[in-house]
Amino acid sequence: MARLSVCLVTLLMLATFAAAQQSSAPASHKSSAKPVTPNTEPGTTSAKLPSEETVNGFLHQMFGYDSSLTWKVAEIKPSAVEGLTEVTVTVSGPQGQQSNKFYVTPDGQHAVIGEIIPFGPKPFAAAREKLQKGINGPARGPADSPVTIVEFSDLQCPHCKDAQPVIEKLLTEAPTARFVFQSFPLPSHNWAAKAAAYADCVGRASNDAFWKFVQKTYTAQAEITEANVDEKLTVIANDSGVKGTDIAACAAKPETAARVEQSVALGKSVDVTGTPALFVNGRKIGNLGIPPEVLKSIVEFEAKQGK
């Protein structure tokens, strides 16, 4: 159990350094702002769900020694694996805020960390099907490509900005792959949702302008604030080749917000919790810090599988 404690602390504390990060958003207390009702989904009654009080007691023992860390219990529900309870916790600290999961065994005496991944001869087929049916973002590359790469990104996210050279290199080396951009603005970012709305409108107005808009927005990240975001994004839209005022008007429409929410819901359905998140034919690439040649090999492998 000592090793488990060390592993869980490492997971939750160092998760903020991973590729899927959110900006700093300190919480004001050590527990959830409001009670979390355990989610008892139909058909999964064999799991005895721990109470929020029990989860908070566990987290207090894990993190109580560090006053810089706060947490919020987001959800307690039966996991996809019968008998296990899935607990989602948001941990905040000086380095940022990150959503994390762990699992509780049926006896309520053990916690299991790590990612539960699909299993079987075609483990990524379900995610691939969800993505194929749900993607609504701008795309590059042949529509009939055997490989579809989907990125969930947040235009305010510095890690997404840092990942773009890696993704561009991959697309240069795999020109026959199809690439789709999906917005996934993080709630802790104060202008990300608005940027996603502008991006959606630019993409519908001009596919060519969209890619310029994304790159220019990443470049201008440090200059954009919640107060000046409309002004900055309108100018960036103009500079990208579309009429900025038209894009601003489009971004303010409820139907545009609904499209962004649809993209976020799609990401959540394939277990996206942070950005950037990349999928290659449904295979989730959790760390864009992997060697570029490995990423390229995955794309090539999927291309052969598709054929």
Candidates 268, 103, 88; CA nearest to 184 is 268
What pLDDT is attached to residue 90? 85
Q: What does CATH list as the number for 2-112? A: 3.30.160
State how far the Cα of 201 lies from the Cα of 191, in Å rounded to an integer: 16
**Residue in the block written with tokens 């054929």:** 307
Q: What is the DSSP string of 37-78?
A: PP---TT-TTS-PPPHHHHHHHHHHHHTT-TT-EEEEEEEEE
Q: What topology does CATH give the domain 125-306?
A: Glutaredoxin (3.40.30)
What pLDDT is attached to residue 298? 93
What are the pLDDT tens digits along the chain (307 aa)? 333 333 344 444 433 333 333 333 333 344 443 445 555 554 444 458 999 999 999 999 888 888 888 999 989 999 988 899 999 998 888 876 777 889 999 999 999 988 888 889 999 999 999 999 999 999 999 999 999 999 999 999 999 999 999 999 999 999 999 999 999 999 889 999 999 999 999 999 999 999 999 999 999 999 999 999 999 999 999 999 999 999 999 999 999 999 999 999 999 999 898 899 999 999 998 767 778 888 999 999 999 886 6
The pTM (predicted TM-score) of the whole model is: 0.78
132: part of which helix (H) or strand (E)?
helix 125-134
State how far the Cα of 137 lies from the Cα of 68, in Å rounded to an integer: 38
What pLDDT is attached to residue 291? 82
CA atoms within 13 A on the CB side of 305: 16
Q: Helix (H, G, I), strand (E, B), or coil: what is residue 145?
A: coil
What pLDDT is attached to residue 152? 97
What pLDDT is attached to residue 290? 79
What pLDDT is attached to residue 156? 97
What pLDDT is attached to residue 37? 55
Give me the residue spans of the domains in the chain.
Answer: 2-112, 125-306
